[in-house]
């Protein structure tokens, strides 16, 4: 059952802002008329398109295939005709190769090879293969292919699997709703992951502002050996992998290392559900549950949408959600999400929320650092953001390195807390990029 409230050092308490959508059941939105599927949906080897303009596709048709192990295939998410394979605006603001499909409104599916309802006979390798073939990647714009995370190299033993149900970003409730509405599937998915990893201990961690989800999971697992459902303190970034591992196991991922190095694997709720869908029903990742919310949204809620659907179309499908004085559209949460350059960009595999802010949007003050130390106290990695930002501003890359710029997880806690309104993350991210590219140059 639940135990005492674990947490990590540092962090901030932004307003949770989840009330607007937390009690809204997940609704499936009407099919989009068009989808844009970027070939670059994740970190790792690039994809190669296998369809051309004019090709007829169904839901689940393979449209791009991976070129390496750290990569996953991409499938059509609606049925219709490939209109183009061309550069399209990516949420990150660049133009990148994408397959554009115009829907025929029929929602025809590729016949999925029937799978036995009982998948317990599959080997661990077969399970991993299904996960890869389903095209599953983790959260965020830089989602990491999930099967890779589930394939610890020889010599590394995983003793703990952590289900990340923290959902610590303000506004977002997609994981919360899925924990409530798909508890049985989630539990089955967790058992699949445990089998793949062969680990003894599973910890299901949920922030304590979601007692219903804790309750639902606790009922599923009861006192079962090896499973522990635990509340973690509601604090940002509780759902950061490193923070969760610190809070739950007391271990720290070594700098430059991976959770695997300390025997842990962390997966979030929607990823585990996608794993369940892939293994039990042979379904590729074609849908995401997205929280559409924020002060500019009149009808906030949680919606099941097709990957590749354009944000603009999605908003118009939600009755009454058309914002009059939209000022900023954020893909993801307000702490780490991307500010969209336009609404003409698609939902990605790693998208979990769209937060729309009204004019006037909050802007930072851009005053000089007053050395209040707030950023130092809140940085969950215990960096000195004020110093890193100054070094980055003055091109002191050597100093950035000395102050561990590469360890920054870009959580945004420092910028959030800064009373001078310094754009700390932006500066630090730049410093990090400089130091990493210097490293790569040296390697060559």
Query: How far, in Å, CA of 33 to CA of 78, rounded?
Result: 9
Other residues' Cβ atoms within 10 Å of the Cβ of residue 287: 22
279 neighbors 318 (Cβ within 8 angstroms): no
What SS3 string covers 44-68?
Answer: CCCEEECCCCCCEECECCEEEEECC
Using CB under 6 A as the binding rule, whether residue 410 contacts ligand SF4 is answered as: yes
5 contacts 233 by C-beta, under 8 angstroms? yes
Q: Is 88 annotated as a binding residue?
A: no
Q: Which does 199 bind (CB under 5 to 8 A by kind): other proteins, ligand SF4, none?
A: none
Q: Is 264 annotated as a binding residue?
A: no
Task: Identify the residue among 259, 294, 337, 385 touching ligand SF4 (CB under 6 A).
Answer: 385
Looking at the Cβ atoms of 189 and 380, the one nearer to ligand SF4 is 380
Say whether residue 142 binds other proteins (CB under 8 A). Answer: no
**Residue 124 or residue 369: which is nearer to ligand SF4 going by CB?**
369
Interaction of residue 345 with other proteins, rule CB under 8 A: no
Q: How many CB atoms lie within 10 A of CB 114?
A: 8
309 Cα distance to chain centroid:
17
First to last CA, the chain: 52
Is 259 or 412 the residue whose CB approaches ligand SF4 more closely? 412
> What minimum distance in Å lies between the beta carbon of 230 and ligand SF4?
24
Q: How far apart, in whole angstroms, are the C-alpha atoms of residue 264 and residue 202?
A: 10
Nearest approach in angstroms of CB 301 to other proteins is 19
Looking only at residues 256 through 315 of this chain, which bind other proteins when binding is defined by CB under 8 A? 257, 312, 315
Q: Judged by CB under 8 A, does residue 426 bind other proteins?
A: yes
Q: Is 372 annotated as a binding residue?
A: yes
13 binds ligand SF4 (CB under 6 A): no
Q: Which does 140 bind (CB under 5 to 8 A by kind): ligand SF4, other proteins, none?
A: none
383 binds ligand SF4 (CB under 6 A): yes
Asked if 376 is part of the footprint of other proteins (rule: CB under 8 A), the reply reads: yes
CA-nearest of 8, 415, 6, 3 to 236 is: 8
Q: Nearer Cβ to other proteins, position 246 or 277?
A: 246
Q: Which of 328, 349, 401, 432 binds other proteins (CB under 8 A)?
A: 328
How far is residue 38's CA from residue 371's CA, in Å, rounded to a whole number?
Answer: 43
- The rounded distance, in Å, linking the Cα atoms of 238 and 235 is 6
Q: Are 98 and 85 in contact (CB under 8 A)?
A: yes
Contact between 169 and 333 (Cβ < 8 Å): yes
C-alpha to C-alpha distance for 58 and 78, rounded to whole angstroms: 6
* Helix or strand (DSSP H, E) at 443: helix 424-443
What is the CB neighbour count within 10 angstroms for residue 35? 25
Please choose, out of 35-43, 169-177, 294-302, 368-376, the segment that lies near ligand SF4 by the rule CB under 6 A: 368-376
55 binds ligand SF4 (CB under 6 A): no
- 428 touches, from other proteins, ligand SF4, none (C-beta below 5 to 8 Å by class): ligand SF4
By CB under 6 A, name the one of 75, 288, 401, 422 that touches ligand SF4.
422
Closest CA to 269 of 410, 370, 366, 172: 172
Residue 184 binds ligand SF4, judged by CB under 6 A:
no
Interacting residue with other proteins among 43, 96, 253, 260 (CB under 8 A) = 253
Cα separation, 400 vs 416, in Å, equals 21
Interface residue with other proteins among 1, 94, 112, 370 (CB under 8 A) is: 370
Q: How far apart are CA 141 and CA 410, in angstroms?
A: 13
Q: Is 408 annotated as belonging to a binding site?
A: yes
What separation in angstroms does the CA of 398 have from each of 41, 402, 434?
33, 6, 10
Residue placing its CB nearer to ligand SF4 in the complex, 340 or 386: 386
Nearer to ligand SF4 by Cβ, of 307 and 386: the residue is 386
400 assigned ligand-binding residue: no
CA-closest candidate to residue 417, choices 361, 359, 335: 335
Does 6 bind ligand SF4 (CB under 6 A)? Our answer is: no
Residue numbers belonging to the annotated binding site: 369, 372, 375, 379, 408, 411, 414, 418
Binding-site entries for [4Fe-4S] cluster: 369, 372, 375, 379, 408, 411, 414, 418
Q: Which residues bind ligand SF4 (CB under 6 A)?
A: 369-375, 379-381, 383, 385-386, 408-414, 417-420, 422, 424-425, 428
């Amino acid at each position: 059952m639940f135990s005492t409230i674990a947490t990590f050092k540092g962090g901030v308490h932004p307003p949770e802002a989840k009330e607007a959508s937390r009690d809204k059941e997940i609704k499936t939105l009407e099919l989009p008329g068009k989808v844009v599927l970027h070939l670059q949906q994740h970190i790792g080897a690039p994809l190669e398109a296998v369809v051309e303009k004019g090709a007829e596709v169904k839901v689940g048709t393979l449209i791009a295939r991976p070129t390496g192990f750290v990569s996953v295939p991409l499938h059509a998410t609606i049925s219709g005709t490939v209109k183009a394979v061309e550069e399209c605006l990516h949420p990150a603001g660049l133009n990148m190769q994408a397959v554009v499909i115009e829907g025929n409104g029929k929602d025809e599916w590729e016949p999925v090879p029937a799978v036995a309802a009982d998948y317990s006979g599959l080997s661990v390798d077969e399970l991993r293969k299904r996960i890869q073939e389903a095209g599953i990647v983790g959260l965020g714009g830089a989602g990491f292919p999930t099967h890779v995370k589930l394939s610890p190299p020889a010599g590394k033993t995983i003793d703990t699997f952590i289900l990340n149900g923290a959902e610590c970003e303000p506004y977002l409730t997609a994981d919360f709703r899925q924990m409530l509405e798909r508890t049985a599937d989630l539990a089955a998915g967790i058992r699949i992951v445990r089998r793949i990893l062969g680990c003894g201990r599973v910890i299901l961690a949920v922030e304590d502002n979601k007692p219903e989800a804790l309750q639902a999971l606790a009922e599923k697992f009861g006192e079962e050996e090896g499973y522990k459902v635990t509340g973690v303190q509601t604090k940002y970034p509780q759902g950061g992998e490193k923070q969760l591992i610190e809070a739950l196991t007391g271990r720290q991922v070594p700098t430059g290392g991976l959770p695997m190095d300390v025997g842990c694997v962390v997966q979030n709720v929607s990823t585990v559900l996608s794993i369940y869908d892939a293994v039990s029903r042979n379904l590729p990742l074609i849908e995401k549950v997205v929280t559409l919310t924020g002060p500019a949204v009149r009808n906030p809620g949680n919606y099941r949408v097709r990957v590749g659907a354009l944000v603009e179309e999605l908003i118009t499908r939600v009755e009454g959600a058309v914002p009059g004085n939209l000022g900023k559209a954020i893909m993801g949460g307000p702490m780490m999400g991307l500010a969209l350059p336009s609404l003409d960009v698609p939902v990605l595999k790693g998208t979990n929320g769209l937060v729309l802010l009204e004019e006037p949007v909050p802007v930072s003050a851009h005053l000089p650092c007053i050395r209040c130390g707030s950023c130092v106290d809140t940085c969950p990695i215990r960096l000195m953001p004020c110093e890193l930002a100054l070094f980055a501003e003055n091109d002191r890359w050597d100093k950035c390195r000395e102050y561990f710029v590469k360890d920054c997880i870009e959580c945004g806690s420092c910028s959030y807390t800064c009373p001078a309104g310094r754009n700390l993350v932006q500066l630090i991210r730049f410093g990090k990029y400089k130091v990493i590219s210097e490293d790569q140059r040296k390697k060559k």
